[in-house]
Amino acid sequence: MEKFDLVIIGAGPSGYAAAMRAIDFKKKTLLIEKNMVGGAGVTNGALSSKTWWELSREASAFRKNLKRYNIQEPSISFKEIQNEVRKAVQERKGLLTEHIQKLNETSYANLLSFKTGQAKLLSQHEVEISVGAKREIVYAEHIILATGSRPRYLPELPIDEKIVLTSEGIEDLEDFPESMVIVGAGVIGCEYATIFSGFGRTKVHLIDKGDRILPFEDEDVVRIVERNMENNGVLIHRNSRLVDMKIINGRVEYELEYTDGSRGTFNVEKALVSVGRVANIEDLWDDKVGINITKRGIDNNDTQTNVSNIYAIGDLTADISLVNVGELEGRYAVEKIFGKPDRKLVYENISTIMFLSPEVAGVGMNETHAREMGINYKVVTLEYSTISRAIAKRNTQGFIKLLVTGDDHMKILGMKVVGLHASSAIQAVAVLISMDKGIEELAECVHPHPSITEGIQECVRMLMGKSLFKPTALKGRLSCRSSLNKVYADIVF
């Protein structure tokens, strides 16, 4: 029986990151994957959907530019778009695979092994790898479970991945559907609504059980996203509940019940079900291994399960299901096994991005969360129309919103950026949150001009009462206020 210091089951983002951190410790490591490296984060998750989004965004911008110059737009080839997405996926998979192969030519030679097959824990230290009828058992001093997740199926819906789809079926579409209903108005549902409406070929319906999409987000963020969706022809079914869905003559017929008691029936070409994901834990271990499971995933403490030498990371846990979080957990688990992490695993400074129109990036808590927790805070908002870079790009839709504690220290609680270059604008704030710093460091930074990050500096200066633009003079474009509903103008808080 071959022995390893660490066996990692799953070569998605979290498992791959764990493997690379393990060989930093010069540990003999086995990485097992039943399909191909990259997992759903590459194949039908973050990379593929964001490639769709980028292409959709380009198509939408191209159409607007042609309209500006009164030029008729050409037709968009679905096959060409689809091939571009597939090339992006294969490019990333190829890079990950090549990297593993080339490691044996470096100082990491003979440390990392990669096996393809279905893995199962037979005991606390024994892992069985199955490929068809062939069985192999290896010994693991430590084990990390990183098997990822898959789209959640609702048993009452006729999901066939051809007419009623999940994100896994999107990749196999043959053309832009002329109409599509999306079940689920969370981040992923809204991203796909943005993608398909952006190409201008699909009438999108979005089912939302509340009075607005993205209920966890601040109202000012949702307002701009909803407006753009509806301007792109998206029909948002607010305050509605799906009561029936059928496939009739190769199309989707669905019925909604609204909170006022009324009902409506609609007919579309396709349906996309986007109601979350479930962890891949079926047949992952023998019962005698004794790993505890909760309703939210594998029970774990700082990535460590109740079985001392077995760890769980990524989508298997109850934490945030994001690629960057999974990678963070993978590296942290290895550091906890073979060393001592430099700092405790925290999620307060995790940067996120929603690929909508416009893009929305954030770090830390938002105002909605702070209000629910009863935190005393101050918040400043600055519209893109005051930022030179946004003006130069001829795209001033969006804003920067900075949240700090309501005391004199003004420690940064979080920031949201909605608009152009949103994801690039939040990194400095993420670092300051992790360092538990206040706003003075941001105030003294010298930002390149023109840049979107200059808007962050102006937000900080508003908090300190020394901004270039004064809120009293540009009401509606700049604002300063507190959780106590006190409105501030050109004064220091």
Q: Where along the chain do the CATH 3.30.390.30 domains lie?
A: 358-488
The mean predicted confidence, pLDDT, of the chain is: 92
The answer to whether 112 touches 100, Cβ cutoff 8 Å, is yes
Tell me what the mean pLDDT of segment 69-88 comes to. Answer: 90
Tell me what the mean pLDDT of segment 15-34 comes to. Answer: 97
Tell me what the mean pLDDT of segment 381-409 comes to. Answer: 94
pLDDT-derived band of residue 443, with 50, 70 and 90 as boundaries?
Answer: confident
Backbone angles phi, psi at 397, to 5 degrees: -80, 120
Tell me what the mean pLDDT of segment 6-29 comes to. Answer: 97
The pLDDT score that the predictor gives to residue 73 is: 79
| 491 pLDDT more than 70 | no
Question: Which tokens belong to 213?
Answer: 């999409």
The pLDDT score that the predictor gives to residue 440 is: 79
pLDDT (tens digit per residue) in 173-193 = 999 999 999 999 999 999 999
| 348 pLDDT more than 80 | no
The answer to whether 29 touches 5, Cβ cutoff 8 Å, is yes
The pLDDT score that the predictor gives to residue 290 is: 92
The pLDDT score that the predictor gives to residue 213 is: 95
The pLDDT score that the predictor gives to residue 487 is: 53
> Can you tell me the distance from the alpha carbon of 404 to that of 399, in angstroms, rounded to the nearest whole number?
17
From first CA to last CA, the distance across the chain in angstroms is 67
Of all residues in the chain, the percent with pLDDT exceeding 90 is 74
> Can you tell me the distance from the alpha carbon of 89 to that of 74, in angstroms, rounded to the nearest whole number?
26
The pLDDT score that the predictor gives to residue 448 is: 85
Model pTM? 0.91
Which residues, 6 or more positions from 471, have their beta carbon under 8 angstroms from its beta carbon?
462, 478, 479, 480, 488, 489, 490
Least confident range from 18-32, 68-82, 249-263: namely 68-82
Q: Which of 9, 21, 51, 16 is nearest to 37 (CA)?
A: 16
Residue with tokens 């608009």: 419
pLDDT (tens digit per residue) in 391-403 = 999 899 999 999 9
Cis (ω within 30 of 0) for the bond into 448? no
The pLDDT score that the predictor gives to residue 349 is: 75
Tell me what the mean pLDDT of segment 62-90 comes to. Answer: 89
Tell me what the mean pLDDT of segment 245-257 comes to. Answer: 98
pLDDT-derived band of residue 486, with 50, 70 and 90 as boundaries?
Answer: low
The pLDDT score that the predictor gives to residue 116 is: 95
Tell me what the mean pLDDT of segment 378-402 comes to. Answer: 95
Least confident range from 110-119, 194-203, 257-266, 318-327: namely 318-327
Q: CA–CA distance from 181 to each of 161, 184, 241, 255 (Å)?
A: 14, 10, 13, 11
Least confident range from 60-69, 127-136, 153-162: namely 60-69
User: How many CB atoms within 10 Å of residue 411?
Assistant: 15
| 133 pLDDT more than 50 | yes
Tell me what the mean pLDDT of segment 208-229 comes to. Answer: 94
| 408 pLDDT more than 60 | yes
Name the CATH code of domain 3-43+85-151+278-338 (choices 3.50.50.60, 3.40.50.10320, 3.60.21.10, 3.40.50.1950): 3.50.50.60
CATH number 3.40.228.10 given to 358-488: no
> Can you tell me the distance from the alpha carbon of 357 to that of 57, in angstroms, rounded to the nearest whole number?
8
> Can you tell me the distance from the alpha carbon of 115 to that of 8, in angstroms, rounded to the nearest whole number?
10
> Can you tell me the distance from the alpha carbon of 103 to that of 146, in angstroms, rounded to the nearest whole number?
21
Question: Which tokens belong to 135?
Answer: 């069985």
Residue with tokens 């279905």: 118
| 24 pLDDT more than 70 | yes
Please name the amino acid found at residue 31.
L
Which residues, 6 or more positions from 17, have their beta carbon under 8 angstroms from its beta carbon?
326, 327, 328, 330, 331
DSSP codes, 35-101: S-TT-TTTSSSHHHHHHHHHHHHHHHHHHHHHHHTT-PPPPPPHHHHHHHHHHHHHHHHHHHHHHHH
Which residues, 6 or more positions from 222, have their beta carbon under 8 angstroms from its beta carbon?
212, 213, 214
DSSP H helices, 339-399, are 367-372, 388-392
The pLDDT score that the predictor gives to residue 111 is: 97
The pLDDT score that the predictor gives to residue 11 is: 96
The pLDDT score that the predictor gives to residue 489 is: 45
C-alpha angle with apex 405: 403 to 410, nearest 5 degrees? Answer: 95
> Can you tell me the distance from the alpha carbon of 395 to that of 398, in angstroms, rounded to the nearest whole number?
9
DSSP codes, 420-467: TTGGGSSHHHHHHHHTT--SHHHHT----SS-TTHHHHHHHHHHTT--
The pLDDT score that the predictor gives to residue 490 is: 43
| 492 pLDDT more than 50 | no
What is the β-pairing status of strands 29-33 and 112-116? parallel
Q: Where along the chain do the CATH 3.50.50.60 domains lie?
A: 3-43+85-151+278-338, 164-275
Q: Which is the CATH superfamily of the domain at 164-275?
A: FAD/NAD(P)-binding domain (3.50.50.60)
pLDDT (tens digit per residue) in 87-98 = 999 999 999 999
Question: Which tokens belong to 336?
Answer: 């906890």
What is the Cα Rg of the chain in Å? 25
Q: CA–CA distance from 35 to each of 12, 38, 51, 102, 204 (Å)?
A: 10, 9, 22, 20, 33
Least confident range from 180-194, 224-238, 294-308: namely 294-308
The answer to whether 437 touches 412, Cβ cutoff 8 Å, is yes
Of 474 and 45, the structure prediction assigns the larger pLDDT to 474
Q: Which of 120, 99, 111 is nearest to 9 (CA)?
A: 120
